């Protein structure tokens, strides 16, 4: 007998009722695995999801360097074959610098593309977070900074995204 444990529930499911919604996926390290599954279900395998999905899929993946980017070749090929709908970005903390000259982390990418992220969310996108729990503090701070620049109250924005079912978190 083998016992398995792990996350359970409905946080990391594709949105069934809005197949045109964009998907924004933010991951660190091995947190990219469920997003690889998303990409496969949406663009590779003959699934109901692939036949219905008309949105865009955008992944921001944070790792130390290119050698640590899991599934990088597969994701790159997918981006090339679906360039109008798939976007893959890396935040390589030991290879790239953020605008202030420090290490590049996922929160820096989030802030760098914050305006677009908020626009997509306003149009009904779903945002997913998976990976180390420690990433959430920096990402939330970056999202709050973007909200502030847009004269929005972050606590109200995130409350609305959660109420709309657009906010999905599975961190460990």
Residue 3 lies in a domain: no
DSSP code, position 101: S
Q: Is position 57 within any domain?
A: yes
Q: Could you tell me if residue 47 is inside a domain?
A: yes
**Domain interval for residue 124:** 23-171
Specify if 15 maps to a domain. no
Give CA–CA dist 114/149, Å, rounded: 10
Distance in angstroms (rounded) separating the CA atoms of residues 62 and 112: 14
Determine, yes or no, domain membership for 9. no
Which of 2-16, 74-88, 125-139 has the lowest average pLDDT?
2-16
Whether 27 and 131 have beta carbons less than 8 Å apart is answered as yes
87 domain residue, yes or no: yes
In a domain, 16, yes or no: no
19 pLDDT more than 80: yes
Coil, helix or strand at residue 65 = coil
11 occurs within a structural domain = no
**Token couple for 93:** 């903390």
Mean pLDDT, residues 114-133 taken together: 97
Count of domains forming the chain: 1
Per-residue model confidence (pLDDT) at position 109? 97
The CATH number for 132's domain is 3.40.50.80
pLDDT at 147: 98
Specify the pLDDT at position 15. 85
């Amino acid at each position: 007998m083998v016992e398995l444990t792990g996350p359970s529930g409905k946080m990391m499911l594709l949105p069934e009722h809005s197949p045109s919604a964009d998907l924004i996926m933010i991951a660190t390290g091995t947190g990219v695995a469920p997003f690889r599954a998303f990409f496969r279900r949406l663009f590779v395998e003959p699934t109901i999801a692939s036949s219905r999905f008309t949105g865009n899929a955008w992944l921001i993946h944070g790792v130390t360097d290119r050698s640590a980017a899991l599934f990088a070749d597969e994701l790159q090929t997918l981006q090339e074959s679906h360039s109008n709908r798939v976007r893959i970005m890396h935040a390589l903390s030991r290879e790239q610098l953020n605008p202030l000259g420090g290490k590049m982390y996922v929160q820096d990418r989030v802030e760098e593309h914050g305006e677009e992220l908020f626009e997509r969310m306003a149009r009904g996108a779903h945002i997913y977070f998976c990976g180390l729990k420690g990433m959430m503090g920096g990402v939330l701070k970056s999202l709050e900074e973007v909200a502030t620049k847009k004269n929005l109250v972050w606590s109200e924005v995130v409350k609305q995204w959660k109420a709309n079912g657009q906010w999905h978190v599975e961190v460990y």
